[in-house]
Structure 1
Amino acid sequence: MPSPQPVDMARSRVFGGVAETYDAARAGYPDALVSAVLGYAALGDRPALEAGAGTGKATVPFAAALTTPLTCVEPDARMAEVLRRNTSPYPHVTIDVSPFEDFRPGDTRYGLFFSATAWHWFDPDRRWDLVHDALAPGGAVALFWNPVGVRDPGLHAALAEVDRRHGLTGTPHAELASSYGDTPGQWPGMLGHWPALDCEHDARFTDLRSLRFREDTDYDTAHYLDYLSSISRYATLPPHHRTQVLADTAAALTAHGGRLPVTRHHDLFLARRT
């Protein structure tokens, strides 16, 4: 099994500077995924814990569905400010502004731990220990991501040329939708690092499941540029370089009708503390 990917701390701390753009441009998660997680967790009256909550793209649908307390851990105060605004209708939500690695559950043990597009930012040497220690026996783990694949091969090729020209790799539009397999976690950013590969060798977790939910959608040019601006790979570019990359990306989109048709894959991993 490949070694865990090291965390790029510089990239992991840039989101607060684009918190409002992140909140407006990032995709959320489907009701079917939320229902699958809560059905698996069977929380009862036990509380839930989210790590890397960001501005609440997953928090809000979970908070709306939960009646038990939900604690959200988010390391960036600027992201947490937007998160606090978005969760204000839900008095059972508590926000802890700290890195997940510094969070201390005290005597509380949770019936569900979940993390949306954030697991890869946590210390790979400690994250499973921290989750195990936070969960009650039988408590559930839910980790999920929502990568996209471009449905138009011609537009994909044009965007790939922009990326090549600017030395970018691993961008959100780097893959064709047709390149995704049928197995959850089967996409380039995750191959060899899907959480099941850790848990199948860890006797502390059992009942491993992997699910995929698909949806076809499209971005107009302005929305997609905002989305790219919220991605760490773009946010860490020097300003003049980022401006040119976004301009060239916009030109490629405009030349292909001004829209980016994609398939979004919501990949979900579930496990349970033994």
Structure 2
Amino acid sequence: MGVSERPRALVFGEVAEMYEAARPGYAPQLAPVVLEYAGPGGGLDAVEFGAGTGKATLAFAERGVSLSCVEPDPRMAAVLRRRTAGHPSVRVEVESFERWRPAGHYGLLLAATCWHWFDPARRWDLAHAALAPGGALALCWNVLRVRDEGLHARLAEIDRRFGSVASPHAQLVRADRELPGSWDSGEWPAAECRADGRFGDLREIRLREETRYDTRTYLNYLSTVSYYRLLPERRRVRLFEALADAVDGHGGSLAFELATDLFLARRR
């Protein structure tokens, strides 16, 4: 049995509260690094696409950035509005990146773990149109890498048995995969950006921290991943049972290195 035909980019809202609770945030250095590149936070006018529940949003709002958040799923947007209620500089609009029309030009365009969902034929045109000359583009992704080699091997065997693909635990911490975007499965934007030619001052940065999940929280996290959301329920239940047994057998938790991979570019 394959995955469901529900639109993959819009399944996160089915579990919006769980998404907020179980998904990791971004490395604490993310906002300072982006703002050092883009300019001072106070007074900076920014737009964030695919803002979700605000995993990246709050770090920028707390630093004085004025944010227009564009989120296509109203269920995710509802959580985002609640979480940013104390920040009047944050505005939330329910719309897709492709249908949104800017009221002006922005000094920063942010997209956190969502650039790959946008139309490849249009996303660079839309980003260029939204940014003021000299404005900064900041695209980031979180990458989990398992620290325990034995547990990684056990989880990989379960993934092979169930035909799982693109699981968050698929990667092991390895010295030969230290470059940002080294996990690339066609999502890392550097080559496309260079080929586009309208952006310069390209930078690729990896920010690291350690994190740990207990078994239940990790299964909740997997429940927010699009691949697992689209699996038939019976197959997902059996797969999660096998993963839980493996994690419980290794002390009931997984130690990860959380890498926030950041790509920066500037409109020429």
TM-score normalised by structure 1 residue count: 0.92
Pairwise CA distance, 1:180: 5.6
Name the counterpart of 2:113. 117
Name the counterpart of 2:161. 165
Pairwise CA distance, 1:11: 1.2
1:148 aligns with 2:144: yes
Name the counterpart of 2:33. 36
- CA offset digits 1:209-239 (Å, max 9, x no partner): 0111111221111110110001001111111
Structure 2: state its 5+ residue gaps: none
Pairwise CA distance, 1:241: 1.4
Report the 3-state secondary structure (helix = DSSP H, G, I; strand = E; otherwise coil) of the residue aligned with 1:104.
Answer: coil
Q: Residue 27 of structure 2 contacts residue 208 of structure 2 at CA under 8 Å; is this kept in 1?
A: no
Counterpart CA distance in 2 for 1:82 and 1:46 is 24
Amino acid of the structure 2 residue aligned with 1:138? G
What is the total number of aligned residue pairs between the two structures? 263
Q: Residue 144 of structure 1 contacts residue 267 of structure 1 at CA under 8 Å; is this kept in 2?
A: yes
Name the counterpart of 1:260. 254
Runs of 4+ more than 4 Å apart = none
Report the 3-state secondary structure (helix = DSSP H, G, I; strand = E; otherwise coil) of the residue aligned with 2:178.
Answer: coil
- CA offset digits 1:114-170 (Å, max 9, x no partner): 110000010011001000000000000000001111111110111111111111011
Q: Residue 124 of structure 2 contacts residue 196 of structure 2 at CA under 8 Å; is this kept in 1?
A: no
Aligned-pair identity (%): 54
Pairwise CA distance, 1:202: 2.3
Amino acid of the structure 1 residue aligned with 2:58? V
Name the counterpart of 1:242. 236
Pairwise CA distance, 1:30: 2.3
Q: Residue 149 of structure 1 contacts residue 180 of structure 1 at CA under 8 Å; is this kept in 2?
A: no
Task: Identify if the C-alpha distance between structure 1 residues 20 and 193 changes in structure 2 by more than 3 Å, giving closer, same or farther.
Answer: closer
Q: Residue 180 of structure 1 contacts residue 186 of structure 1 at CA under 8 Å; is this kept in 2?
A: no
Name the counterpart of 1:132. 128
Q: Residue 13 of structure 2 contacts residue 74 of structure 2 at CA under 8 Å; is this kept in 1?
A: yes
| Aligned partner (choices 152, 170, 178) of residue 174 of structure 2 | 178
Name the counterpart of 2:62. 64
Q: Residue 6 of structure 2 contacts residue 230 of structure 2 at CA under 8 Å; is this kept in 1?
A: no
Task: Identify if the C-alpha distance between structure 1 residues 144 and 257 changes in structure 2 by more than 3 Å, giving closer, same or farther.
Answer: same
| Aligned partner (choices 69, 72, 76) of residue 75 of structure 1 | 72
Report the 3-state secondary structure (helix = DSSP H, G, I; strand = E; otherwise coil) of the residue aligned with 2:34.
Answer: helix
Q: Residue 41 of structure 1 contacts residue 140 of structure 1 at CA under 8 Å; is this kept in 2?
A: yes
| Aligned partner (choices 73, 82, 85) of residue 85 of structure 1 | 82
Task: Identify if the C-alpha distance between structure 1 residues 180 and 72 changes in structure 2 by more than 3 Å, giving closer, same or farther.
Answer: farther
- CA offset digits 1:85-121 (Å, max 9, x no partner): 0111100101110111011013x10000011000001
Counterpart CA distance in 2 for 1:46 and 1:216 is 31
